[in-house]
Structure 1
Amino acid sequence: MKITSPVIANKGKKDCTRMSRWKKEMDVMLKWRKIAVFCILGLAICTGSAWSEGKVAIIAGLPEATMKSTPTFDPLFQEMEEVLKANNVSWEYFYVDLDKAPDDAARMTLGKETINKVKAINPKVIIVVFDNVITYVAKQVEDIPVVAGYFFGSPESLGLPTKNITGVARRSFAADIWSIANQITGAKTVSMIGRNNFSMVQVKAGLMAKADALEKISGVRLKDMYLVETVDDWKKHIENCSEDLIYIVGTTMIMDGDKEVPSPELIRWTVDHAKVPVVGATEDAARDGALFSVVTSEGIWGKQMADMVIKIINGTPVSEIPMETVSKGKLLINAKTATEKKIEIPYEILSSADQVFE
């Protein structure tokens, strides 16, 4: 028979009581620790969502088929989408063919209809592309931040910025192009040609107003900018050109009856039939036969626009995001055309090219 002394028995009871209290205290501590961990995780998740999530509406001022069939636009939207995707921002495209509207009143109505469609997805920011979308769509929006880009008029001529609109403006490389043409071909005069639309009207007004200053910089005088809608008018201006240089500024939506003439076909025809050298304002132009182009980097343009969007979604007011200019351009040379036209390109110009098409 085992006998336990009262002292030992009492000590055992005290130890059990202490163990019980310690266990309860540990259970309480573990419980609160779990709650704290879940709170921290929840806060991190919520903060992450608020910091990076959102939906953006992208409004383009051309028909969807034209946008998707024109390679010039690919880098713009690809870089834009990459930045948005990296920041967990989704997007939806809206297309509005404002050029087909008969007058300003009809364009304003079309703009308002587009805004109503856009507001249905409740976007945190709207991205607008092209001058006409700024004028007839973006300026009718007052309660949603807007980032504008791929426009060709000056910000001042489009009334930018506003309290809810900022954006990235195009840098004009006209003086650079004409200066290089002067060095290569000796050109003293130039005529420009492009599609008759809202954006090109803005470009023409801006460049004609600066013709004297551009001539001082480049040594080349801008004589005129022909804005056409049909391939017949295009060909007439090319065949009758009396200037030393032709500068193609746009080839989209040039119509042959009810069909759009493919841009590569139009550029190739122009290069083959012009009596003077032909240069371009886009990468497509140089690739498809123009002697050279100095172009805005569409990819950089799209990235700068998307970076602005992320700033706005993350809480920066539009009023604190100033207008920017595309930060980079590139020189593209078509060596095959130079050979065909017996035009010698100086080594210092050729070696500075970002890309040479053989």
Structure 2
Amino acid sequence: MQAAFLSFLRRPVLGVALAAAMIAPTLALAQSVAVTSIVEHPALDSIRDGVKQALAKAGYTEAKGLHWQFQSAQGNTAIAAQIARKFIGDNPDVIVAIATPSAQAVVAATKTIPVVYAAVTDPVAAQLVPSMQASATNVTGVSDALSLEKQVDLIKKVVPGAKRVGIVYNPGEANSVVVVKRLRELLPERGMSLVEATAPRSVDVGAAARSLVGKVDVIYTNTDNNVVSAYEALVKVGNDAQIPLVASDTDSVKRGAIAALGVNYHDLGVQAGDMVVRILKGAKPGEMPSEVGSKLELFVNPAAARKQGVELPAELVKSAAQVIK
């Protein structure tokens, strides 16, 4: 009788323990990730989607309790700072900051919440981390830095006789300033010169491009977010004035650039997402070295080339990962 009574008492305890065991995996995945981007355009959107894909692959989904939020600063650094402050108040487990201005805003706002940056060309120059080694801070991430030597090689293949290379960029974006400074040094070594036009806002891109007409043989664009978000304005100038456009963002080829040798931004997002997963599982960002997207892809657009007055070499087209029809 006493044994039966004790067995009866144990049943609720066992039931609670079993329920707790069943709930535990769900609670373990109930994490929060806040994502911010300086602007929405295909390359940066691909990073955001890649981060979410990496989280889902690891079992972190909204259906299993993940709190995911995303906000775009719409190209405005003041809004980027507001979003950073809002996210700090929310106290998520990890903040993912896409592109240099958003990353700078978040890193300036917190020294404790883990931050993973993505699509930052030079995180050291942007003062996000002291070096590409483990930072011993709350920050790590993935750079989209490209070899400018390879970019100049591509320009030479698309426009063999090019001497004057135009560039439209935002002088307030750290990654663009770094690229322009390097091109000023590199192009003269190749018998070429750089002609600059600044576009502090996306709405300035068209006018900046028009200021290059008659002054350049080709226009090269890096991953400047103002320029990429308003790339159609640049394409119109290139088509109207028959100035070839060479980009470093492969999505820009789909929008009218002739060619681009760039990173796969979705893969870059997955790479950043894998870092987020490691942090959610207990890794410290300060012990994780910054990484660089290493997979480069060549995209070409023969139809755009013809509109802009050039014919792409058959060998270049054949070597492309994707040919835009």
Q: Report the TM range for the smaller structure's normalisation.
A: 0.7 to 0.9
- Contact 2:166/2:220 (CA < 8 Å) preserved in 1? yes
Q: Evaluate the alpha carbon distance shift between residue 124 and residue 235 of structure 1 in structure 2; reply closer, same or farther with a 3 A threshold.
A: closer
> What is the aligned counterpart of 1:83 among 23, 37, 54?
54
Alignment of 1:182-201 (within 5 A): 182-199=156-173, 201=174
Q: Which residue of 2 aligns with 1:351?
A: 318
Distance (whole Å) between structure 1 residues aligned to residue 234 and residue 147 of structure 2? 20
- Give secondary structure in 2 for the equivalent of 1:351: helix
Distance 1:299 1:319, change over 3 A: same
How well do the aligned residues superpose, as a CA RMSD in angstroms? 3.4
1:168-207 matches, cutoff 5 A = 168-199=142-173, 201-207=174-180
Q: Is 2:260 aligned against 1:278?
A: no
Tell me the alpha carbon deviations over residues 84-118 of structure 1, each in whole angstroms, 9 at most, x when there is no partner. Answer: 344233311234467465xxxxx8xx73x444422
Is 1:150 equivalent to 2:119 in the alignment? yes
Q: Which residue is equivalent to 2:17? A: 39
Whose relative contact order is higher, 1 or 2, with alpha carbons under 8 Å and at least 6 apart? 2
The match for 1:314 among 271, 274, 281 is 281
Please tell me the residue identity of whatever aligns with 1:269.
K
1:28 Cα deviation from its structure 2 partner: 6.6
Q: Which has the larger radius of gyration?
A: 1
Q: Name the CA shift for 1:198/1:53 in 2 (closer, same or farther; >3 Å).
A: farther
* CA deviation vs aligned residue, 1:228-270 (integer Å, no higher than 9, x gap): 242563243231323x32113368657xxxxxx9835413312
Distance across 1 between alignment mates of 2:225 and 2:250: 13
Does the Cα contact within 8 Å between 2:46 and 2:266 map onto a contact in 1? yes
Q: Which residue of 1 aligns with 2:94?
A: 125
Take 2:171 and 2:93, find their aligned partners in 1: how far apart are those partners? 30
CA contact 1:191–1:226 (8 Å) conserved in 2: no
TM-score, normalised by the number of residues in structure 2: 0.80
| Superposition TM-score, scaled by structure 1 size | 0.73
**Counterpart position of 1:329:** 296
* Structure 2 match to 1:137: 106
SS in structure 2 at match of 1:198: coil
State the identity %: 20
Aligned to 2:27: 49
User: Which deviates further from its counterpart, 297-306 or 113-122?
Assistant: 113-122
Partner of 1:303: 270
In structure 2, relative to structure 1, the CA distance for the partners of 1:46 and 1:215 (3 Å cut) is farther
